[in-house]
Amino acid sequence: MTMRNFGELLHAKWDEGKFLCVGLDVEVEKMPESVPGGSPRQRIVAFNRAIIDATRDLVCAFKPNSAFYEAHGDEGIAALRETLAYLHEVAPEVPIILDAKRGDIGSTNDGYVQAAFEYLRADAITVHPYMGRESLEPFLARKDKGIFVLCRTSNQGAGEFQDLKVDSMPLYQMVAKRVVSDWNAGGNCGVVVGATYPDEMKQVRGIIGDMPMLVPGIGAQNGDLPLSVAAGKDAKGRGLIMAVSRAVMYASSGTDFAEAARSKAQELHGAITQALVE
């Protein structure tokens, strides 16, 4: 099996001028009726394959959220694994970020690491910082993988804890500082900052330098794309993984869903490219 390095895969995509990440967040009830298959597993995989085929040349990463698959039990987990196997087959140059938001004591995280990186063969994962560096050591030790730490999230209630002051600094900024100073020894860390908070994003970028930033929220959550790109890009005009799920996957409910997904992805790719040069 070929050894994959998340950082190398991501930087190669940035070199191609690609910063869009398509989230493979499958909601069965939203899938077009034309998607073939009898079981949930078959339909989910067929839908994902069509979206992947339509967008794989436009993206810097794909990001399946594990919750949408876990909701369907054995069928969903099988669909997730089959989807990632398909990505390895048809788009081996595109990194895969498993959006699972893991975080527990170290021995439990050993299990999460095994599931994400060995069983599913993801290249990166999202994690919670709340239990500290020691608990995340099983992730951080995987220098070949990307570890994206939740920093300033895109949900409306994010500020309940993330804006609390710690040593006169908002907690989300303290998290960003700690990731830079203590957690990134392997050079494999990134942070998650929602596009719905461009001012906070600019503050985080000032702390993390050229570290990768995973940015959800520019699609269905209505984050401002040009503002987010301006706030989040690094000094080299890159550093961003702009994640969009529903706006691409459900661009059409008709038989043209794959073509509509590609059209939306092309539109977003163009908008990100334009925002980077302005």
- Helices 40-55, 257-277: axis angle to 10 degrees equals 40
Closest CA to 97 of 121, 67, 132: 121
Instruction: Report the percent of the chain where pLDDT is more than 90.
Output: 91
User: Residue 125 has which token pair?
Assistant: 């994962």
**pLDDT tens across 59-75, in order?**
999 999 999 999 999 99
- Cβ atoms of 247 and 220 within 8 Å: the answer is yes
Percent of the chain at pLDDT exceeding 70: 98
The pLDDT value given to residue 185: 96
pLDDT over threshold 70, residue 33 = yes
Q: Which pLDDT tens digit goes with each residue over 3-23?
A: 899 999 999 999 999 999 999
Report the distance separating Cα 67 and Cα 43, nearest Å. Answer: 17
pLDDT tens-digit profile of 98-120?
Answer: 999 998 887 899 999 999 999 99
- 224 Cβ neighbours under 8 A, 6+ residues apart: 195, 198, 218
Q: What pLDDT is recorded for position 77?
A: 97
Radius of gyration (C-alpha) of the chain in whole angstroms: 18
Q: Where are the domains of the chain?
A: 6-277
Residue from 17, 60, 21, 26 nearest 243 by CA: 21
What is the predicted pLDDT for the residue at 156? Answer: 87
Alpha helices for the chain (secondary structure H): 6-15, 40-55, 66-70, 73-90, 106-113, 132-140, 159-162, 171-178, 198-208, 225-232, 246-249, 257-277
Using the structure block, give the residue that is written with the tokens 């597993």.
41
pLDDT score for 220: 62
98: closest CA among 25, 151, 152? 25
Please, are residues 207 and 174 in contact by the beta-carbon 8 Å criterion? no
Closest among 29, 35, 26 to 255, alpha carbons compared: 35
Cβ contact 77:119 at 8 Å = no
pTM value > 0.85: yes
Please provide the CATH number assigned to the domain covering 6-277: 3.20.20.70
Could you give the strand order of the β-sheet that contains 189-193, starting from the edge strand earlier in sequence?
Answer: 59-64, 20-24, 240-244, 213-216, 189-193, 146-152, 124-127, 97-102
SS3 content of the chain, % helix, strand, coil (to 5): 50, 15, 35
Q: Average pLDDT for residues 185-200, to the nearest whole number?
A: 94
Task: Measure Cα distances from 147 to 28, 69, 134, 162, 261 in Å.
Answer: 29, 21, 14, 19, 28
Whether the per-residue pLDDT at 1 is higher than 60: the answer is: no
- Annotated active-site positions, please? 101
What's the pLDDT tens digit per position in 139-178?
Answer: 999 999 999 999 999 888 999 999 999 999 999 999 999 9
What does the pLDDT look like over 46-59, one tens digit per residue? 999 999 999 999 99
Q: How far apart are CA 254 and CA 270, in angstroms?
A: 24
Amino acid at 146: G
